[in-house]
Amino acid sequence: MSVAVIGLGVSGVAAARLAAEKGGEVYVSDSRTEDAVATRGADLGDGIEVDLGRHDIERMVDADFVVASPGILPSSPVLQGLKRRGVKWISEPEFASRFLDASLIGITGTNGKTTTTLLVNHLLHASGVTSAAGGNVGGGLAPAASDLARLKERPEWVVLEMSSFQLSGVETFHPDIGVITNLSADHLDRYRSIDEYYSDKSKLFENATEQSVWVFPADDDEVRRLSDGVPGRRYTFGCGTDSSAFLSEGQLILNLEGDIEPVLQRDELPLIGAHNVTNALAAALTARLAGAGSGGVMAGLGSARALPHRLEPVADRAGVLWINDSKATNVAATRSALSSLDRSVILLLGGKDKGEDFAQLAEAMRGRARIVVGYGAAGSRAINELSEALRVGSNEEEESIGGPRASPSLRLVEGSLEDVVVSARNWAESGDVVLLSPACSSFDMYENYEHRGQHFTLLARAEV
């Protein structure tokens, strides 16, 4: 077996190690030459050919497998060069799945997929079911899929988070249980249209059979449309007592084939936000379908903790709660975060401009956000679009008296995140939440959303 791996990120390194362990002849290339990339290449050791600063397409043409890292754009010269030669490439989880000796849960969606992935794994462990989670999780919270394929002890289940970029490169990937958390616009800086983005998400169904098990949101029209006609058994979560998992009278409940199981009181779930109730319902349903016991699911939900950068409370001073939701890199995630809070909010909004419509946040802001602070590359456009949307949709009489649907004050802060946090601290009043939920990616100022969230946390906790 000869394997060519494009990209020396986390997934590329994992794929190269797996290929070498399986006895393959491995070639890895990366167009970058920075010290950190060179170190990762050197750490792969003897027997793996590493090429920095270039991609040798002719070297890849004869490989049995070409594995492309998710950060490599389809429009990149290397992938376009391979396409012209009729060479197909696969994603790293697709490569890893060929060596996974375990039942497989595949989880995708626009928002909530990391929380749901790790929560399913947590609930399985709480029930005594051996499992391992990984995939697109990132942030050091779980390994790449190829690292799971190298585990010496085989778990009963592998739980993989799959991004649209990873699903775009599947051929034989076939989850025993497939989960979609939700779908909304995202990554429009990479995709030419929302339909193209959804098309990659739908590749989760690529190899569906009548034995496949699917877990879907009950009220998501796009998921329903994409899954229409897909074979397999379907279970739903979210709204309505006709779902397989739902919230009723303050209690999370499962309905498996007519067998009603009360799981947990809503106020006993440690996770903040209505969207995390939905994530918990999806995870509980998935875990039960994978063999977790009801007692383990209950105990696991009760012991769940917020993940870093996902509605994570990081400081509470002078009656002001600071929440790090840096993972909210699209409008839908920020809208969900706003809807989940019952205190007045100072919202920090901005970052790299991905081209989404900020006006979609206007209704979620009314009566919740007291101040909206725009910053970064997208800050000015966000404030302009929100100003127009709030003006068009305003009730002048209610706004004039500060009614329950009053619009927020919109403010643009030039400069760094330090400047933004100082301004928010000056404007905050006891009872407020200062919420970093940017609705944008972070690459205008930071390496990634984790880097941004870590900096915000330090600033929120700073003694001033």
- Please spell the DSSP secondary structure of 271-326, one letter per residue: S-SHHHHHHHHHHHHHHHHTT--HHHHHHHHHT--PPTTSSEEEEEETTEEEEE-T
Longest CA–CA span in the chain (Å) reads 74
3 state DSSP class of 3 = strand
Strand partners, 256: 259
Distance CA 190, CA 182 (A): 19
Picking from 117, 124, 464, 128, the residue whose alpha carbon sits closest to that of residue 322 is 464
The answer to whether 455 is a known catalytic residue is: no
Q: Which one of the listed residues 111, 121, 136, 324 is annotated catalytic?
A: 136
3 state DSSP class of 119 = helix
* Amino acid (1-letter code) at residue 252: L
Distance CA 39, CA 44 (A): 9
381: which 2 tokens?
A: 């456009």
How does 254-285 read in b/e, with b if 16+ C-beta sit within 10 Å?
bbeeeeeeebbeeeebebbbebbbbbbbbbbb
* Amino acid (1-letter code) at residue 459: L
Q: Which one of the listed residues 55, 113, 125, 275 is annotated catalytic?
A: 113
Distance CA 117, CA 157 (A): 12
The answer to whether 395 is a known catalytic residue is: no
The answer to whether 187 is a known catalytic residue is: yes
Q: What is the CB neighbour count within 10 angstroms for residue 109?
A: 28
Distance CA 179, CA 168 (A): 16
Q: Which one of the listed residues 55, 122, 187, 203 is annotated catalytic?
A: 187
Residue with tokens 């051996």: 130
Q: What are phi and psi of 342, to 5 degrees?
A: -115, 20
Cα angle: 243, vertex 340, 280; to 5 degrees: 40
Distance CA 91, CA 74 (A): 12
Distance CA 91, CA 97 (A): 10
Q: In what order do the strands lie in the sheet with 251-256?
A: 131-135, 157-161, 103-108, 177-180, 213-217, 233-238, 245-248, 251-256, 259-265
Distance CA 58, CA 294 (A): 55
Picking from 141, 66, 63, 147, the residue whose alpha carbon sits closest to that of residue 99 is 147
Q: Which residues are tagged catalytic? A: 113, 136, 187
